[in-house]
């Protein structure tokens, strides 16, 4: 009887991992995770550009991610670029990594080559993988060797005084989505991804992009939103095997953020942080690290009136991964597996929509309509009898300033807090004023 070899074809596995669907910015964030899982207190990301003749065009030479963690042993480094293996046991309760293919899948998702230089307690070691070479050799083995003096000189300036650390160099980059600003877009998207991703770890971690610390971003904008819910805790009493759990729960919070034109909130990346259909929904935070955002879980349809809704679901991965939550390999999509948990979250969401999102959205629309009407009324009321003149002395000169009472009243309105009733009251008052001015103007003309 003929024996068959059932070992998976290495290149098919490598191709599948390469096409797993990582967005470049999330791929870089995945590599940053590895640094913090190695006990780093700081991780730096550097986008190094190629010199080009065209001043208005930028090209990316490589991306370097370097951390001051504990580094890797030779054994760990050997395993670091092997599919589905890390060479060490992971702590599901605290670590950010999950599947053990982060470095390989992340790096190859947008480039051909990954190099790793690490300094651990046993010295400096180097390894690399080149997808182009693998297509030729088809060998699953990766060379690991002591670093050359040049490689030591490459990592040391980044480590500074830290005794250990790891540098990952992603080069031969050829799989980035084509845009008019490829390098700038990737830098901005990566900064935004990290600023959201590590918000709950902000007191424990520092990430720098090209040497500049990332400003962490609270997706719920708790400190300056229109309204934020209390924290709801859903207790989890059993694990997947029926074992009793103590102090294990899922935390749910919700908010209604301010509009894009609000003057009360400052957003570093307005195009990415302003309320939109894509951004409305839940963030899912595992072990303090945001996995994904804008998740509706099919609970509602994304429509413009709900754009200002933001929610957050936080949980620990120790007991709940693959039991209550199914996380995609790219860690950018999550499914809720338990129907009772799903229903409870949806119950909280419905109540927030009913008591906050819907009435506040109606208030905003009513106010916007009233404000538009006020502006139209002001534009129509340019009768000179409605204009007062005020003398202002500046730099020794007297300047006559025309003050339209409609403009004065409009500028005095608190746009963030005016209720629909108050807006209609103001509109009524201005309409009465307009009628008085028209009557006075008619008398002046007839006299």
Are residues 287 and 405 located together in one domain of the fold?
no
- d(CA 82, CA 78) in angstroms, rounded, equals 8
Q: Is residue 222 part of a domain?
A: no
* pLDDT computed for residue 19 by the predictor: 86
Helix (H, G, I), strand (E, B) or coil at 47: strand
In this structure, the strands spanning 206-209 and 42-50 are parallel
Are residues 290 and 392 located together in one domain of the fold?
no
- d(CA 174, CA 112) in angstroms, rounded, equals 7
Q: Is residue 372 part of a domain?
A: no
Residue at which a domain ends, from 296, 331, 361: 361
Q: Is residue 374 part of a domain?
A: no
Structure tokens at 292: 């994904």
Model confidence at 381, in pLDDT bands (50, 70, 90)?
low
Are residues 310 and 391 located together in one domain of the fold?
no
- CA nearest neighbour of 381 among 354, 408, 363: 408
- d(CA 77, CA 150) in angstroms, rounded, equals 19
Helix (H, G, I), strand (E, B) or coil at 410: helix
Q: How many distinct structural domains can be found in the chain?
A: 3
Are residues 168 and 112 located together in one domain of the fold?
yes
Residues paired with residue 130 on neighbouring β-strands, in sequence order:
113
- Stretch 268-280: mean pLDDT, rounded? 94
Residue at which a domain ends, from 148, 183, 213: 213
Are residues 237 and 337 located together in one domain of the fold?
yes
Residue at which a domain ends, from 182, 213, 244: 213
- Stretch 246-252: mean pLDDT, rounded? 94
Question: Torsions phi, psi of 413, nearest 5?
Answer: -75, 135
Q: Is residue 281 part of a domain?
A: yes
Are residues 193 and 233 located together in one domain of the fold?
no
Is the Cα torsion angle 211, 215, 216, 219 positive or negative in sign?
Answer: negative
In the structure, how many helices (H) and strands (E) does the chain have?
13, 18
Are residues 116 and 263 located together in one domain of the fold?
no
Does pLDDT of 395 surpass 50? no
Q: Is residue 366 part of a domain?
A: no
Model confidence at 252, in pLDDT bands (50, 70, 90)?
very high
* pLDDT computed for residue 400 by the predictor: 44
Are residues 257 and 299 located together in one domain of the fold?
yes
Output the pTM of the full model.
0.80
Are residues 231 and 160 located together in one domain of the fold?
no
Residues paired with residue 391 on neighbouring β-strands, in sequence order:
400
Model confidence at 421, in pLDDT bands (50, 70, 90)?
low
121-155 pLDDT per residue, tens: 999 999 999 999 999 998 888 999 999 999 999 99
Question: Torsions phi, psi of 169, nearest 5?
Answer: -115, 115
Domain harbouring 239, CATH code: 3.30.230
3-state secondary structure 349-392: HHHHHHHHHHHHHHHHHHHHHHHHHHHHHHHHCCCHHHCEEEEE
Does pLDDT of 119 surpass 90? yes
Domain harbouring 135, CATH code: 3.30.565.10
Q: Is residue 1 part of a domain?
A: no
Cα-based angle 167, 169, 174 (whole degrees, multiple of 5): 160
- d(CA 35, CA 25) in angstroms, rounded, equals 16
Model confidence at 431, in pLDDT bands (50, 70, 90)?
confident
Domain that includes residue 133, residue range: 10-213
Q: Is residue 370 part of a domain?
A: no
- d(CA 118, CA 121) in angstroms, rounded, equals 10
Contact 427, 374 (CB under 8 A): yes
Q: Is residue 375 part of a domain?
A: no
**Stretch among 21-25, 192-196, 241-245, 371-375 having the lowest mean pLDDT:** 371-375
Does pLDDT of 433 surpass 80? no
Are residues 198 and 332 located together in one domain of the fold?
no
Are residues 279 and 194 located together in one domain of the fold?
no
* pLDDT computed for residue 364 by the predictor: 80
- CA nearest neighbour of 426 among 365, 374, 363, 360: 374
Q: What is the largest CA-CA distance in the chain?
A: 118
Does pLDDT of 392 surpass 80? no
Are residues 255 and 154 located together in one domain of the fold?
no
């Amino acid at each position: 009887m003929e024996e068959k070899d059932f070992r998976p074809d290495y290149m098919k596995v490598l191709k599948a991992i390469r096409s797993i669907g990582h967005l470049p910015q999330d791929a870089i964030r995945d590599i940053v995770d590895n640094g913090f899982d190695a006990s780093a207190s700081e991780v730096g990301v550097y986008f190094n550009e190629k010199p080009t003749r065209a001043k208005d065009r930028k090209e990316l030479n490589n991306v370097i991610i370097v951390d001051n963690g504990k580094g890797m042993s030779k054994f760990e480094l050997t395993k670091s670029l092997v599919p589905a293996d890390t060479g060490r046991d992971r702590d599901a309760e605290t670590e950010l990594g999950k599947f053990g293919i982060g470095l390989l899948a992340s790096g190859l998702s947008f480039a051909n080559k990954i190099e790793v230089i690490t300094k651990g307690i046993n010295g400096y070691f180097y390894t690399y993988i080149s997808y182009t070479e693998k297509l030729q050799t088809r060998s699953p083995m990766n060379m690991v060797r002591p670093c050359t003096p040049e490689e030591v000189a490459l990592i040391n300036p980044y480590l500074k005084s830290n005794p250990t650390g790891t540098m990952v160099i992603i080069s031969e980059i050829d799989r980035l989505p084509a845009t008019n600003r490829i390098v700038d877009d990737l830098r901005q998207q990566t900064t935004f991804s990290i600023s959201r991703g590590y918000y709950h770890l902000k007191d424990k971690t520092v990430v720098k992009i090209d040497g500049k610390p990332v400003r962490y971003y609270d997706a719920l904008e708790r400190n300056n939103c229109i309204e934020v819910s209390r924290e709801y805790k859903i207790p989890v009493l059993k694990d997947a095997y029926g074992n009793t759990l103590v102090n294990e729960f899922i935390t749910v919070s919700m908010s209604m953020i301010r509009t894009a034109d609000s003057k009360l909130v400052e957003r570093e990346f307005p195009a990415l942080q302003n309320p939109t259909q894509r951004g409305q929904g839940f963030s899912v935070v595992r072990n303090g690290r945001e996995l994904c955002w804008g998740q509706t879980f099919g609970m509602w349809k994304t429509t413009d009136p709900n754009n200002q809704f933001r929610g957050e679901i936080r949980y620990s991965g120790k007991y709940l991964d693959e039991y209550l939550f199914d996380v995609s390999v790219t860690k950018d999509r999550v499914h809720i597996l338990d129907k009772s948990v799903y229903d409870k979250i949806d119950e909280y969401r419905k109540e927030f929509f009913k008591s906050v999102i819907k009435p506040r959205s109606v208030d905003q629309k009513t106010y916007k309509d009233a404000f538009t009407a006020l502006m139209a009324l002001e534009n129509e009321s340019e009768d000179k009898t409605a204009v007062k003149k005020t003398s202002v002395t500046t730099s020794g000169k007297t300047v006559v300033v025309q003050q339209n009472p409609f403009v004065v009243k409009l500028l005095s309105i608190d746009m963030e807090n005016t209720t629909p009733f108050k807006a209609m009251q103001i509109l009524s008052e201005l309409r009465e004023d307009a009628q008085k001015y028209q009557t006075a103007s008619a008398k002046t003309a007839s006299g």
